[in-house]
Amino acid sequence: MGRVSLKGKLLYSLILSVFLMSACSDVEKIQHIEVFFIETFEERENGLFEKSGYVRVNAITSSEEGKNYIKTDSKTIEDFYDLQGNYLNTEVKHITSTISKVTQTGKTKSRNKQFQEPSTILISDEDVENYKAKNSESIEYFSLKSMTEEEKETVKKHVLSLTRNF
């Protein structure tokens, strides 16, 4: 058997060190693309909440977790409707948060734009009406859970097109 030279040992140590360092610095990244609608509520003077309508949402939510931090990035298009289904307004939001696991402190940035025309996609008036008819006029939460990859990509491009200039 041949002896391993000092140069070979150093090369092996370097490769092992790089591998171990990259394994220790693994970052877990997750992205969800969603299309849903949910009821909205307003607080009355007596402190109780009353149903006020619903909101249709297209969303991209990304999270990243490293050894010492957690980052989240949420981009949403939210079309608001009253109880009769009349369109009210649209809010486009981009919210980013970073939390340090070391110092237990965080930072959040929020940017919003208002629009006066419906901007969400893949949820039709018919979807809302069908859901309401099947659920006793209650729209607690409805989601297009079985979106195809093509639909997800379409929603992603659409949301990014409206949040790009923030």
Res. 165 pLDDT band, cuts 50 70 90: confident
Let me know if residue 18 belongs to a domain.
no
Let me know if residue 2 belongs to a domain.
no
Average pLDDT over residues 106-126: 94
Let me know if residue 16 belongs to a domain.
no
| Number of other residues whose CB lies within 10 A of the CB of residue 55 | 20
Closest Cα partner for 97 from 82, 113, 83, 108?
108
| Number of other residues whose CB lies within 10 A of the CB of residue 22 | 9
| DSSP per position, 71-106 | EEEEEEEEEEEETT--EEEEEEEEEEEEEETTT--E
The range of the structural domain enclosing residue 75 comes to: 26-163
Let me know if residue 17 belongs to a domain.
no
CA distance 40 to 50: 9
Quote the tokens at residue 103.
């110092």
Average pLDDT over residues 5-22: 57
Res. 144 pLDDT band, cuts 50 70 90: low
pLDDT at residue 146 in the model: 81
Question: Structurally, how many domains does the chain consist of?
Answer: 1
pLDDT at residue 92 in the model: 98
The pTM of this model reads: 0.78
Let me know if residue 1 belongs to a domain.
no
Higher-confidence residue: 9 or 119? 119
Let me know if residue 121 belongs to a domain.
yes
Quote the tokens at residue 151.
């639909």
Let me know if residue 21 belongs to a domain.
no
- pLDDT tens digits, residue range 40-75? 999 999 999 999 999 999 999 999 999 999 999 999
Let me know if residue 5 belongs to a domain.
no
